[in-house]
Structure 1
């Protein structure tokens, strides 16, 4: 291999495939698309085979490109893991910290921690992926993924950050008009607030025995995929919401929302939590610093619990 920057070109190639285009990869790397194209061309020339089939609408890997992509991902991930483990011994909080979590949780609880960390460690850079479809730490080279609920079997390393409790809540004004439901049958007659997509993500089945949309009289009065919108709808008196305490707990404490402790909330008896997931066995100094700062900010019991 004659090119002196083979590993760099491999990383660019992997980023192009993951991003789906030269321009998207260029934006991620803060360079021009022409610079990305030149590096891919150099890599193809040195290897002597085409790696990508270009069209006006998309990029498609050749068989050689597919083979290289699979091997390059593993090589680059191994290099990143080795760098992280070695850096951990030195205790240097630097480099890029990549975190993924739910948008509302990230804005409320993660962003303040990251801001404090960067003020303390100026060499630390951050990529915060706020997405309900949470990324894979291995495939997307994420340092930490924050997931909620019951964890499936996985090779990832999980650490519990906090318990995950869900509550029924509505505004005092709404309950003053409609009354406080005393059982599931009465609740089904109320106006309910639910997610718009991803069937029963809030877990209404744990309360009603079925998704809210499948209740015979279709009691769902408002749908949105945004936690803040669902919270806002409840505060505005639009109906009863079923949300985690990290979303509505502060509002219940402030008296803006009223908790409806239906049947003793049996759904909270199931093992569930908020977890920090990583793929590297030995966390780097930047990951350790982030986890410690996040735990300190959230506290135990969590600051949001009513």
Structure 2
């Protein structure tokens, strides 16, 4: 019959080697040096060979000890990580989370989810920063940054939160004056309302068309308000367009056409181990 595997002894041996001495391993584990020495001696007795060569100044591995250490070290570390993850599942998220997001998305999509998250986890505080400027995740000390649309190359961790549907809209007054476009090509003869001047090419039904613009706002709420004021045609996310459409202040244009979807993505610094609260929040948002 095969002897039972001494998992606690394996973990103890790895700690002794990594710490470099019996005393240091004892301090790490909260055990007397005599206890560490006795357990090591029992291990070597069971193994039938010495694992460590001891001197008054240092420890060194025997050939058997070195092979044993190389085999069991990843096993011990995997077990430790599994225990951390298991404990985290039952730990209560707490602490302060610093989060950044675009203004309109933050107000209409993110904020309601944060409210329910805080109700569920009362030990968490959220420091929310809404800005349409692209903040620096690492330099700003953000736990989580949410961005909409295409992302540049970076070494940040990414987690897709979902897509944002978009709609072409204009006010009834504008359409009465300028006519309602029936094809993608007809959009080129209308005035556009942009949020950024570099977003003047719209892809509709796989066609890219340049939109002559009347005003660029730098803010999605102002873009919506400009469309309601009859200044032209706007490409709005559904969370901003749906209410004014339902109220009759905006009319959807080319409703059967397909607009490219844009993604909402959560970004994290790769160098920082996510806290339990961050992991819980991402799970909540997804």
Question: Into which bin does the TM-score normalised by the smaller protein fall?
Answer: 0.5 to 0.7
Of stretches 228-237 and 184-193 in structure 1, the one that deviates more from structure 2 is 184-193
Q: Following TM superposition, by how much is the alpha carbon of 1:276 offset from its aligned partner in structure 2, in angstroms? A: 1.4
The separation in 1 between residues aligned to 2:266 and 2:224, in whole angstroms, is: 25
CA contact 1:191–1:220 (8 Å) conserved in 2: yes
Q: How many residues are matched?
A: 200
Secondary structure of the residue aligned to 2:264 is strand
Q: 1:136 to 1:206 in 2, by over 3 A?
A: same
**Equivalent residues in 2 for 1:116-135 (5 A)?**
116-135=116-135
Query: Which residue does 1:30 correspond to in 2?
Result: none
The separation in 1 between residues aligned to 2:264 and 2:242, in whole angstroms, is: 15
The separation in 1 between residues aligned to 2:178 and 2:101, in whole angstroms, is: 36
Aligned counterpart for 1:274 among listed residues 264, 269, 272: 264
Q: In the alignment, does 2:108 pair up with 1:111?
A: no
Aligned counterpart for 1:199 among listed residues 185, 197, 204: 197
The separation in 2 between residues aligned to 1:110 and 1:128, in whole angstroms, is: 10
- Answer with 1 or 2: which has the greater Rg: 2
Q: Structure 2: give runs of 5+ residues left out of the alignment.
A: 1-84
Q: 1:184 to 1:194 in 2, by over 3 A?
A: same
CA contact 1:166–1:242 (8 Å) conserved in 2: yes
**Equivalent residues in 2 for 1:73-222 (5 A)?**
88=88, 91-195=91-195, 198-200=196-198, 202-206=199-203, 209=208, 212=211, 219-222=212-215
The alignment's TM-score, normalised by the length of structure 1, stands at: 0.56
The separation in 2 between residues aligned to 1:153 and 1:220, in whole angstroms, is: 29
The separation in 2 between residues aligned to 1:109 and 1:259, in whole angstroms, is: 21
1:262-294 deviation per Cα after TM superposition (whole angstroms, max 9, x unaligned): 7823x517xx41111222586422123323433
CA contact 2:188–2:210 (8 Å) conserved in 1: no
1:123-160 deviation per Cα after TM superposition (whole angstroms, max 9, x unaligned): 32211111112223223221111111123333222222
Q: 1:253 to 1:275 in 2, by over 3 A?
A: farther
Secondary structure of the residue aligned to 1:97 is strand
Q: 1:87 to 1:251 in 2, by over 3 A?
A: farther
The alignment's TM-score, normalised by the length of structure 2, stands at: 0.59
The separation in 2 between residues aligned to 1:88 and 1:135, in whole angstroms, is: 30
Q: Structure 1: give runs of 5+ residues left out of the alignment.
A: 1-84, 213-218, 296-306
Q: 1:96 to 1:87 in 2, by over 3 A?
A: farther
Query: Which residue does 1:63 correspond to in 2?
Result: none
Q: 1:112 to 1:166 in 2, by over 3 A?
A: closer
Q: Following TM superposition, by how much is the alpha carbon of 1:181 offset from its aligned partner in structure 2, in angstroms? A: 0.8
Q: In the alignment, does 2:231 pair up with 1:238?
A: yes
Q: 1:288 to 1:180 in 2, by over 3 A?
A: same
Secondary structure of the residue aligned to 1:133 is coil
The separation in 2 between residues aligned to 1:230 and 1:142, in whole angstroms, is: 28
1:26-45 deviation per Cα after TM superposition (whole angstroms, max 9, x unaligned): xxxxxxxxxxxxxxxxxxxx
The separation in 1 between residues aligned to 2:187 and 2:251, in whole angstroms, is: 15
Aligned counterpart for 1:248 among listed residues 229, 241, 263: 241
CA contact 1:182–1:262 (8 Å) conserved in 2: no
Q: RMSD of aligned C-alpha atoms?
A: 3.2
1:210-237 deviation per Cα after TM superposition (whole angstroms, max 9, x unaligned): 654xxxxxx4333311111110121222
Aligned counterpart for 2:284 among listed residues 293, 297, 301: 293
Question: Which structure carries more strand by proportion?
Answer: 2
Secondary structure of the residue aligned to 2:189 is coil
The separation in 1 between residues aligned to 2:152 and 2:267, in whole angstroms, is: 12
Q: Following TM superposition, by how much is the alpha carbon of 1:246 offset from its aligned partner in structure 2, in angstroms? A: 3.1
